[in-house]
Amino acid sequence: MSFDEDNPLTPDPAESSGSPLEISSARSAESNSSEPALAAVASITPGYPGAIGRFVLEDLRVPWDWADIFLLIAVAIAGGILIGFAVMIGLATFDARALHRLRESPEALNQLNVLIQVLLDLGVLAYLAAQLRLRFKSPFWRTIGWRPLEPVKISRTAAYVALVLGGFLLSFVVSLASNIFLPQKELPIQALLQDRYTALLFILVAVLVAPVVEETVLRGYLYPVAARSFGKGWGIIVTGTLFGLLHASQLWGGWGQIALLVIVGIVFTFARAATRSVVASFILHTSYNSLQVIALLIATRGLRHFPPG
């Protein structure tokens, strides 16, 4: 059997009739030509095994780095300040009594804060889309990790259903655990759930906006860089911890609730790492929030009785 570069198999030594020098040269050529194959193996192998440690997993091959992440943080902070000022100036310009009503009505102020957060979230997505399209010349959604699931042992439909049920189960377990770590005072997030319209805005954001934005930014943009820098395990922990800490302002004083959200963030990130797709963590996140929303609707009897029971 003659061995050539198109043959993916290593030649049987018994069938190699060349001289030792020829055999050595062939083996050297084989080693060089196998590097693309090793890269392919690295793209489906968890971790960075020694012989292929120089290759980066396919879902972690992103064109941005830590400098871009810190730039995103700066853009988000500046954007939040500018949007807040713009909204206040707009209210003062077109309705002179609006600012007075905001001072007198905590409900109106809460609703305005939710709307400002939505504008900031959409602005962050727009910034990332522009960066990937204009600077990196890459398609936005796929480059940032929104790839279809590719399960091996079950169908794609079964995988989606399992993730939905997994999100429900995680939400249920966290709700039970929260009753063990009851906060000693009212949490800031409870102030958002004191009237029907604010609660309705909160529900819409929790189900339609937050999962898309948070999964895109954390599991799509941050996780690949963290995993590349610290390894997959620490990348999962770092990303999940930041997820919990980003919600700390809503749960300040509820240290048990913050710790539980850190665990939730780690679970979401693990799903993204295991499937190499943000779609998995998005489904978990959406179903998790959806069960929380169902519980809120039950507690308020369809947003008719506040505060929630």
Chain segment 51-60, per-residue pLDDT in tens: 334 456 788 9
pLDDT grade for 92, boundaries at 50, 70 and 90: confident
The answer, yes or no, to whether the previous bond of 307 is cis (omega within 30 of 0) is: yes
pTM here is 0.80
Q: What share of the chain has pLDDT > 90, as a percent? A: 59
Residue 108 or 171, more confident: 171
CA distance 57 to 249: 35
Q: Of 94 and 173, which is predicted with more confidence?
A: 173
Q: What is the mean pLDDT of the chain?
A: 83
pLDDT number for residue 148:
92
Which of 235, 179, 193 lies closest to 60, judged by CA? Answer: 235
Q: Tell which residue, 277, 247, 278, 276, has the closest CA to residue 261.
A: 247
pLDDT of 43 higher than 80: no
In terms of Cα–Cα distance, which of 166, 205, 173, 165 is closest to 189? 205
Task: Tell me how crowded residue 5 is: count the other CB atoms within 10 A of its CB.
Answer: 9
